[in-house]
Structure 1
Amino acid sequence: MAQDSYTEVLRTPSNFATTSEAEYSCKFTNLWSEARHPNLYPGNAHWSPPVLGAHSNGYSMWAPGALASPGIESVAETGAVGTLLNEFVAANDLTGDIVTGDVTFNRVVNDQVLDNIIFSREHPYLSSISMIAPSPDWFTGFYDYDPRSDNGNSWAREFTLLTYPWDAGTEQGTGYRLGNSAESPHKVISQFTRETVPENGIFLSSTGNEVLPVASWCCTLVTNVMTPSGPRVGGPNPDNMDFP
Structure 2
Amino acid sequence: MMNFNDCGSVLRRKIWWMEKREGIVHNSSYILWREGLEATPEVRLIAEKGSGEILEQRKGVRDVFAAGRILQGVGMTETIFYSDAKHTKVSVISKIVPSPDWFVGLDSIELCMNGYWLNNLTIEAGPIDAGTDEGFTFTAPNWASEPQSPISMITSKNPSHPANSFYYPYLNELPPLVTFHFIKERVYRANNKRLCFGPKHKKSKFSKISTVVVPLPDSTSRTLHKRLHARRIYKKAARRSVDCLLSEWSEWSTCSASCGVGFESRTRSILTLNKRGGTPCPQETRQTRWCGQQTNCIDKFFNW
Q: Structure 1 length as normaliser, TM-score?
A: 0.71
Question: For residues 126 and 137 of structure 2, what CA distance do their matches in structure 1 show?
Answer: 17
Residue 121 of structure 1 aligns with which residue? 85
1:90 deviation in Å?
3.4
Question: For residues 58 and 63 of structure 2, what CA distance do their matches in structure 1 show?
Answer: 12
Question: For residues 124 and 204 of structure 1, what CA distance do their matches in structure 2 show?
Answer: 36
Q: Which residue, 214, 219, 223 being the options, matches 2:182?
A: 219
CA distance 1:206–1:30, shift in 2 (3 Å):
farther
1:164 deviation in Å?
1.1
Gaps of 5+ in 2: 189-285, 289-304
2:9 paired with 1:33: yes
Contact kept in structure 1, 2:137 and 2:165, CA below 8 Å: yes
| Cα displacement string for residues 110-166 of structure 1 (whole angstroms, at most 9, x for unaligned residues) | 00112x1111111100100110111000001110110112x3x10000111111111
Question: For residues 243 and 147 of structure 1, what CA distance do their matches in structure 2 show?
Answer: 27
2:53 paired with 1:91: no
2:14 paired with 1:42: yes
User: What letter matches 1:125 in structure 2?
Assistant: K
Out of 131-140 and 205-214, give the one that drifted further: 205-214
Question: For residues 129 and 169 of structure 2, what CA distance do their matches in structure 1 show?
Answer: 21
Aligned residue runs from structure 1 range 1-244, under 5 A: 25-34=1-10, 38=11, 40-43=12-15, 45-82=16-53, 85-86=54-55, 89-92=56-59, 94-107=60-73, 110-114=75-79, 116-149=80-113, 151=114, 153-177=115-139, 179-197=141-159, 198-203=161-166, 208-223=171-186
What is the total number of aligned residue pairs between the two structures?
190
Question: For residues 169 and 133 of structure 2, what CA distance do their matches in structure 1 show?
Answer: 27
**Structure of higher RCO (CA pairs closer than 8 Å, 6+ residues apart):** 1
Out of 132-141 and 25-34, give the one that drifted further: 25-34
CA distance 1:201–1:181, shift in 2 (3 Å):
closer
User: What letter matches 2:76 in structure 1?
Assistant: D
User: What letter matches 1:32 in structure 2?
Assistant: G
The alignment partner of 1:90 has SS state of coil
Contact kept in structure 2, 1:130 and 1:140, CA below 8 Å: yes
Question: For residues 140 and 126 of structure 2, what CA distance do their matches in structure 1 show?
Answer: 20
1:208 deviation in Å?
3.6
User: What letter matches 1:217 in structure 2?
Assistant: F
Q: Structure 2 length as normaliser, TM-score?
A: 0.58
- Higher-Rg structure is 2
1:243 deviation in Å?
7.2
Question: For residues 26 and 172 of structure 2, what CA distance do their matches in structure 1 show?
Answer: 36
